[in-house]
């Protein structure tokens, strides 16, 4: 059984660099941010690192496809190519762009780490960084709301999965 604890993160990094060089730096930064959040919230540190590192491994193949698709392909690659069989890690990769109802702490951490890793620059990112370490649910709400706003302004298709996540988190407040 290949769980988070027994995987060599350096091996995974090497493999990812070859597999998806374009996403590599962002993935490493997301891994580091995810580790910090895991320590802060008492989540499994190794799983957070692996999920953070591999969260966008499926991105290059899916230009133009929707959010859940690139995440789902990423989760497939994580399993088939990187031999990660841990269900929690795979779900964190799968739901890192849309979220879902009843997210696990690890899923929330990967979702947020991706949006606040140090190279991210957009309006509101500083507020999101602070919120992330204060109330991770609020951070997801803020992030989803601004994504939905972005989509509305540009008349793009609203992502139903993201809307469901947002509704669920707001009802839990």
Considering beta carbons, is residue 56 or 107 the nearer one to Fe ion? 56
Please report how close the Cβ of residue 6 comes to Fe ion at its closest, in angstroms: 25
Considering beta carbons, is residue 3 or 66 the nearer one to Fe ion? 66
Site of tokens 């090497």: 14
Please report how close the Cβ of residue 158 comes to Fe ion at its closest, in angstroms: 21
Which range binds Fe ion by CB under 5 A, 9-17, 46-54, 73-81, 108-116?
108-116
Which range binds Fe ion by CB under 5 A, 14-22, 50-58, 104-112, 142-150?
50-58
Please report how close the Cβ of residue 33 comes to Fe ion at its closest, in angstroms: 11
Cα 163 from chain centre: 17
Considering beta carbons, is residue 56 or 88 the nearer one to Fe ion? 56
Backbone angles phi, psi at 9, to 5 degrees: -65, -30
The CA distance from 107 to 124, in Å, is 22
Between the alpha carbon of residue 22 and those of residues 32, 54, 59, 173, the distances in Å are: 18, 13, 9, 38
Cα 39 from chain centre: 16
- Which one of residues 88, 107, 114, 159 is an interface residue with Fe ion (CB under 5 A)? 114
Q: Check binding of 56 to Fe ion (CB under 5 A).
A: yes
Q: Which residues bind Fe ion (CB under 5 A)?
A: 56, 114
């Amino acid at each position: 059984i290949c769980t988070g604890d027994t995987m060599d993160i350096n091996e995974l990094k090497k493999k990812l660099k070859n597999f998806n060089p374009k996403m590599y730096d962002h993935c490493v930064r997301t891994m580091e941010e995810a580790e910090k959040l895991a320590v802060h919230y008492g989540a499994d540190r190794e799983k957070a690192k692996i999920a953070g590192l591999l969260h966008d491994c499926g991105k290059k193949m899916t230009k133009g496809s929707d959010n859940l698709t690139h995440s789902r392909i990423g989760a497939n690659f994580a399993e088939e190519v990187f031999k990660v069989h841990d269900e929690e890690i795979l779900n964190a990769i799968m739901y890192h762009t849309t979220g879902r109802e009843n997210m696990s702490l690890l899923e929330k951490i990967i979702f947020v780490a991706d949006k606040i890793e140090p190279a991210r620059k957009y309006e509101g990112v500083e507020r999101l960084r602070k919120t992330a370490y204060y109330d991770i649910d609020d951070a997801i709400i803020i992030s989803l709301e601004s994504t939905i706003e972005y989509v509305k302004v540009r008349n793009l298709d609203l992502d139903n999965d993201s809307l469901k996540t947002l509704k669920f988190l707001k009802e839990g407040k």
